[in-house]
Amino acid sequence: MTGFSVTTAPNMTPTQLAAAACYPNGQISVTTVAALLDIGVSVVSTPSDNNPLHATATAPYPLPFPTAVVISSVFTQQPNPYKP
């Protein structure tokens, strides 16, 4: 399986998800599973010891540029509401 890492859980806000994942980044990118599914990107639960809410958003490798543009378009960037 190829793709990129995401953190997801039903009924959790981006703030709650960022806190659970302990993201150190100043900014995070936010979308919904529904938005990814709408463009043909499935989300598969792949929990880790560090992040039990970890999942993989599937994408081809190598990622064609037009596909990357479509995926990128469903994300919005925002300041990380939880920066340790």
12-33 residue pLDDT tens:
999 999 999 988 899 999 999 9
Q: How confident is the model over 41-57, as pLDDT tens digits?
A: 999 999 999 899 999 99
Q: What are the sequence ranges of the domains in the chain?
A: 3-77
By the 8 A CB rule, do 33 and 43 touch? yes
CA distances from 9 to 26, 32, 61 (A): 21, 10, 25
Tokens at 16, concatenated = 């709650």
H helix runs in the chain, sequence order: 14-21, 33-38, 65-73
Q: What are phi and psi of 47, to 5 degrees?
A: -60, 150
Q: Is the pLDDT of residue 84 over 80?
A: no
Whether the model clears a pTM of 0.85, i.e. scores above it, the answer is yes
Residue bearing the bigger pLDDT, 83 or 30: 30
Q: What is the pLDDT of residue 56?
A: 98
Mean pLDDT rounded to a whole number for the chain: 95
